[in-house]
A and B are shown apart, each in its own frame.
Chain A
Amino acid sequence: MRLLRLAASAVGALALGACSLDLQNPNSPTAEQVTTSPDGVIALATGLQGRFATSYGNFAYTAGLVTDEFASVSAALISISDAEQGAVPSGTGIADAVFNSLYRTVRSADDLLAGANALSGQFDAGTRSGLRALAFAMKAEAIGEALQSYQRVPIETFGITSPTYVGRSQALPFVRALLDSASATLAATAPSAFFNSSILTPGLNLPNFVNLLRARYARMANDNAGALAAANLVGRTGPTALSTFSFPVPTVNPFANVTGGANGIAPRRQFRLSMAPTDQRATYFVVASTATGRVGALLDTWARYANPQAPLPVYFPDEALLIKAEALANTGQLAAAQAAVDSVRTDCTGGRGVDDPKACLQPLQGTLTQAALLDEIYLQRRFELFGSGLRWEDARRRNAVRGPAAAPAVPSEGQRCWLPYAVGDRNANPNATFAALPDPAEPAAYPAGCSVN
């Protein structure tokens, strides 16, 4: 019986001691662990910047395919070579990838905002200001990129299971308001040194980034005064003039990710061939090649992103000059506008001291009319802002959507207005079913602009 008592107590101890059913997951932290500690919130800020780089890459990649910038390499999937000919059927991976990754960035920004607000007492004012401004700015740009890819987009998505889609008339002010919040936050309290050195990705200048975006979306809203004012605030010389993301091993630049294999793309040769032969921007972006793509597109290879660890410019600083020139030209200040364009044309080695595209061209000859000046601005935007995704919106706003260009035809400017809505959202969002949100009709005749309602 002594044996039995011993056994019984051993059984009892084993059975009761070992069987807590509330197990923590040691493999990944929970929402509570991340959002309630300063370290966790700081890591969210890093995660946000990582997602922003990815979604920006997806946006620029797809925009380049459906305009005239990129084409598929020989090993690419059919859906990529279809897209380079202007065909993006509903449900295609690339149509969904742009949307899904942009809204993951939005979610990360919202997470960061919520965390920074909830833990406001645990961050000093400057750090909190930096966290909030970063979240506002990246959320704004992510929704802004969605606006440049889809006719209607959701804007309120945090804590909601079925977000509502709105047109540009509502979404664009929303984006600009976010950027104004970012700007106001930075103005009220400058980011702390800790934020700038340990949270913000090295190479990113937050005030310049916010002002550039304010100029970009003011221009999109045809707010010439706002665009001019913001563009003037963007630093254009010195090391902070170029903001970049860096990709230490084992991470790679988003373009390096899509230059080989099944998603493979390369710059179309026509980018280089369309330039003045002396334009140095060709060598900044590409290396001449004789390669042909999956459906016969003539290709060059990347120079800028050939190294998988090459830094990715968050924006090209001369975009500010070109926005400024456009605002000036639109408001009749033609001489000042022409000077701004010339500043871009004559940017040459040494230039403004940053590694940005440099045309090294002669200044414009004579005095250009407003129309000629605007044409020149569009042309410079094409070469200066290559691969940034902005060309698609340029094609839209100047009524230069020219329809699908089936290979071997070489496309020019934009090939379609919009991407079909993401099936990933359609599958679960009652506001995004095919009935509630039909895919927008592409124009019936080309060239065309796009309805932005």
Chain B
Amino acid sequence: MSLDALRRGLARSTLLALLAPTLALAQPQTGSIRGRITDAASGRPLADVQLQVLGTRLGATSGADGGFVVGAVPVGERTVSVRRLGYSPLQRTVTVTAGGTATLDVAMNVGAVNLSEVVVTGTGAPTEKRKVGTSIASVDSTIVSRAQAVTIDQALQGKIAGAQISQNSGGPGGGGISVRLRGVNSFISGSDPLYIIDGVIIDNGSGQLTDLGGRSNPQNRLADLNPADIERVEIIRGAAAAALYGSRANNGIVQIFTKKGSIGKPRFTLNSRIGSNELREQQPFNLYPFDINGQPIARFNYQDDIFQRSMTSEHNLSVEGGNDQTRYFASVNVLDDEGILRSTSSNRQGVRLNLQQQLASKLIANVTGNYVTTRNQFQAFGEQNDYGIMGSLFFAPSSVDFRPVNGVYPLPPALGTNPLLAIDRIRNPQTINRFIGSAKFTWTPLANVVVDYTAGIDNSNFEQRQFIPRAAVLGTAPLSTGRAQSVFSDTRVINQDGFASVTFNPSSSLELRSTGGFNYTSQRVATTNAVANGLAPVGELVGAGSVFAAGQTDVELRTLGFYGQQEVNLWDKLFLTGAVRWDASSTFAPSERWQLFPKFSASYVALENRGGLLNSLRFRGALGWAGSQPSIINAYSQYIAYAQLPFAGRPGFVNDVTFGNPTLRNERARETEVGTELGLLNGKVSVDATYYDRTVSDLLFFRPLATSTGFSRQFAPIGTMSNKGIELLLRTTNVDTKNLKWESTITYTRNRNLVESLNIPDFQSAGGYPNRIRTGEPAGVFYGSYAARDCRTGALLVDSLGRYRRSNQNVDMGADLAARRRISNGECNDSLNAVIGDPNPDWMGSWLNEFTLFGKLRVRALLDGVFGNDVMNLSTRAQNAGIASNSREFERELLPYGNPNKLPPGFNARTQGIFEYWVEDGSFVKLRELSLGYTLDMAPVRRWFKDGVDLTLSGRNLWVWTKYSGYDPEINLFGTNGGGLGSGQTTAADRGFDFGGYPIPRVWSLSARITY
């Protein structure tokens, strides 16, 4: 097919119809740019310098003599970016005339720290990094695309110091991922940062509309975003950096920018990936061929039937191009991701059109539109034990033959369902239709004035269904009579954002910039739910039922804020910023609503662009305040509400037992951060180090009320919590020769969380699980029963049968203190429960190595580790329960007497009640990414594809080094923000529970990328 034919074909498609006029434009007149690059210190010519004419794809690489030529550059003022490894990147502007040659000779300074990068998140108006007093992490599209990840948050794993990015479940479509920046900073407002795409605040909820396992987290809505559309990600981690976002900034901000397109002829890029997913390692099950009475018995390993090797395919087609007036980027994305748990899959189809148009000489519009349909077929896991597959796997004795007999699937004896039946018949389809769009107008009436206005919308329609056939679960009606459910949820977030910025230069050594802006967000979630039980034998929809229930909710939350900022720039070395945000949220009581969030920061560039040992040095410091709001579920907590209680067929009202708080106000964080950036050894090493200290006060949670008043709790400030930590980023160029480049990036993160004070009794934060919020301990520590020790020897106490003694049981430890002391020979087991573990890691780190051989072969390996965190293995606890008895440890109880591995009878029944027994070290190191890339650019290939064909063989989560005995220490029962149904008693601090989680697969994939 000729290019023209292809164009005609694409122009016919609706997606690209809008672009047709731009494609038809005549090519503008052109000239060229020529020049020579040298080392500023020695004057030596510099080879391998990358030059790019900004806003176009035109560029060149300097030769051995430092010379370069760029041809066919459109006439006019052009900015050229000049970059080389180990040197400070810079930009120069030249004037290109028709048929003329502009000269550009550049002397480059050594330096590995890029202080001239422009960032926009948290800074009011776009600002060079050197002027910002806080640390900002940025990640560009190559890092995202090389991760070969299904979602953007997966792609960021192991890339950012200060971030704990955990994949809570391994399901298709990205799994549920939580991002925690600088520790947990709230109980009720979630731990996830605020996500912004092209200036639009978006919804990253992980809630499920039907019960797919209580608080489990199969997917968060960032999964709707196509990672290939992303140009750059900026991450600000703290209150000091995020103060301009006011009452939502406590958890940090992640801002994503999508690709803009570049001037030139249309360029098509096709990237296809095929992947294979597999269970990394099976869990050992009890396959002992005898039962508890020593009788022969058949046992089965259901993992062979439940898990599969599954396939993923992903295709991205994008086109970009434009001219001086118009630039466009359009893409189509199709992802088919099958889960390793049979019958689970995720499918994403999206289109994007980004358009930049010069409306007038000083007015530019940027319009983005992204429509995506995500279709999932999930299965329940986690704490869903009625019909969840993982729960059924762990709770079913390994002696049940689950294969159907005469078409009927046998049910397990005590708990759960037949996992084969669930795979075959239970259905949980969901469809998310989502549009994210924005329009941004930038007006520069004068050279020193910028006015910017952005309006955006994120609207998703989420339909989730559930079908559980009759007689598919154990137990009684209504669930055993079948369930058909359909829930529709419409979520829309509307944003308006504007700022104006004015710059003055009163003298050559002083620059002043004043910025003022506003932001308005309205978030609304409307949900309608219909559910039927008592299903007919045929039919999977609600209409097939005979007993019906329905529900509807409608929640809205609005935030309005104004900010002002003054920056002072002295001698281009010292930068001082003062800002204040004045913010209000509809959630809070009118009397408390308007809050001020100030920030102050300073940046001092002590050294820049020097040769030798120390090339650059910057110090920065900041102090700022930010807030957080409760999630939208609690949007109306300021009101004293009444609840419906129909009685005898009549409508009735009773007081809601949660008492409204008419003086509700936001949580407030104060953070100080200091840091430095260093460039060393002729630009071969760069260091970015930050220390922060954040205290969050007025933490919101449910304060208990005296139940004699007829109420039980009130949403109110209950305490103070702090996070202190260190973030370190080290980049090194180890080898830099013509044929081999070897670069490394190391991150180190250390955070210490502490609950400083509580004005209520310490409490169990996750209903039913031993996470606890306790003064003087990190948030979410495990608190519960332990195995009692002998006070003198420290040895575990056992009873006459050799079983451990539970600290909190009278039968094991006596009814009173005196008996406890007698049994334990001292005074060491005086409390019934104790802190038995901490799910917060001591430190996290990653180590990325990238090798480039002969300029064509790229090898890349990312190790990502979490250290010193505890995980409570409730999956194995379930296996050890008497009704399950399918673990390897239970197998030891079945061994004949005399066998040295024999465990005493009742040993496992006893450990069920000793929660300390299930706490394991969850430290791990994962080979998160490994890839091998090669560019095929032989002549026959180049004849067809000018830039050659990029082939990449890659793997994700290939190996894990850990002492943890379960499937994966990374998975977590609780999602990002509590999520789904029954989540009222889960806080952001609840982590570290492995209970029927969906294992994270090992993924191998092969991708090819061609550009036309």
Residues of A bordering B, CB below 8 Å: 3-4, 7, 11, 14-15, 18-23, 25-31, 33-34, 40, 43-51, 53, 96, 99-100, 103-104, 106-108, 110-111, 154, 157, 160-163, 201-203, 245-248, 250-251, 260-261, 422, 424-425, 427-429, 432
Contacts and interface: CB of A to CB of B under 8 A. Distances in A.
A7 B362 CA distance: 14
B707 A96 contact: yes
Contact of B709 (A29, A30, A40, A107): A107
Interface stretch (B584-592, B741-749, B942-950): B584-592
A166 to B, nearest CB: 12
A145 B712 CA distance: 20
Contact of B654 (A4, A100, A104): A104
Given A46-B651, A46-B652, A50-B647, A103 B642 contact: no
Contacts of B939: none
Interface string B646-669: 111111111111001000000000
A40 B643 CA distance: 12
B487 to A, nearest CB: 16
Contacts of B496: 11, 14-15
A18 B520 contact: yes
Contacts of A51: 645, 654
Given A21-B586, A261-B476, A424-B712, A7 B453 contact: yes
Interface string B203-245: 0000000000000000000000000000000000000000000
B706 A108 contact: no
B708 A154 contact: yes
Contacts of B705: 161, 428
B549 to A, nearest CB: 7
B554 A3 contact: no
Interface in B715-774: 760-761
Considering the complex of A and B, which 4 residue pairs feature the smallest CB-CB distances, nearest first?
A107-B710, A46-B652, A50-B647, A47-B652
A201 B650 CA distance: 9
Contacts of A160: 709
B532 interface: no
Given A15-B496, A28-B656, A51-B645, A425 B554 contact: no
A250 B645 CA distance: 12
Interface of B: 359-360, 363, 441, 443, 453, 455, 476, 494, 496, 498, 518, 520, 522, 547, 549, 553-558, 560, 584-586, 590, 593, 635-636, 639-657, 660, 703-712, 760-761
Contacts of A432: 706, 708
A256 B708 CA distance: 26
Given A43-B651, A46-B646, A248-B648, A19 B558 contact: yes
A246 B647 CA distance: 8
A439 B359 CA distance: 78
Contact of A29 (B455, B522, B547, B653): B653
A287 B496 CA distance: 68
Contacts of A15: 496, 498, 518, 520
B648 A247 contact: yes
B452 to A, nearest CB: 11
Contact of B646 (A25, A45, A251): A251
A272 to B, nearest CB: 25
Contacts of B655: 31, 104, 107-108, 111
A7 B706 CA distance: 55
Contact of B710 (A7, A11, A108): A108
A3 B360 contact: yes
B363 A4 contact: yes
A22 B590 contact: yes
A306 to B, nearest CB: 14
B706 A163 contact: yes
B653 A34 contact: yes
Contact of B555 (A3, A27, A111): A27
A245 B651 CA distance: 15
A438 B660 CA distance: 30
A26 B554 contact: yes
B560 A163 contact: no
Contacts of B761: 427
Nearest to B521: A19
A20 B1004 CA distance: 52
Among A34, A106, A110, residue most surrounded by chain B Cβ atoms (within 10 Å): A34
Contacts of A424: 704, 706-707, 712
B648 A250 contact: no
A40 B641 CA distance: 12
A158 B346 CA distance: 54
Given A46-B650, A100-B712, A247-B648, A21 B707 contact: no
B555 A28 contact: no
A161 B705 CA distance: 8
Nearest to A96: B707
Contacts of B654: 44, 47-48, 50-51, 104, 108
Contacts of A99: 707-708
Contacts of B549: 250
A27 B590 CA distance: 20
A50 B652 contact: yes
Contact of B455 (A14, A103, A108, A251): A14
Contact of A157 (B363, B560, B710): B710
Contacts of A107: 655, 709-711
B641 A28 contact: yes
Given A46-B648, A47-B647, A106 B710 contact: yes
Nearest to B594: A21
A19 B560 contact: yes
A157 B593 CA distance: 31
A51 B652 CA distance: 10
A100 to B, nearest CB: 4
B553 A27 contact: yes
A22 B586 contact: yes
A385 to B, nearest CB: 23
Contacts of A21: 558, 560, 584-586, 590, 593
Contacts of B641: 25, 28-31
Contacts of B586: 21-23
Given A15-B520, A18-B522, A46-B651, A425 B710 contact: no
30 contacts: A4-B360, A4-B443, A7-B441, A11-B453, A15-B518, A15-B520, A20-B558, A23-B557, A23-B586, A30-B641, A30-B660, A33-B642, A34-B642, A40-B653, A43-B651, A43-B653, A44-B652, A45-B652, A46-B645, A47-B653, A50-B646, A53-B647, A99-B707, A103-B708, A104-B657, A110-B710, A157-B709, A163-B709, A201-B650, A202-B648
A157 B708 contact: yes
Contact of A23 (B558, B650, B652): B558
Contacts of B363: 3-4
A18 B498 CA distance: 15
Contacts of B711: 107
B710 A103 contact: yes
Contact of A245 (B590, B648, B710): B648
B558 A49 contact: no
The residue in B518, B560, B641, B642 that gathers the most chain A C-beta atoms within 10 A of its C-beta is: B642
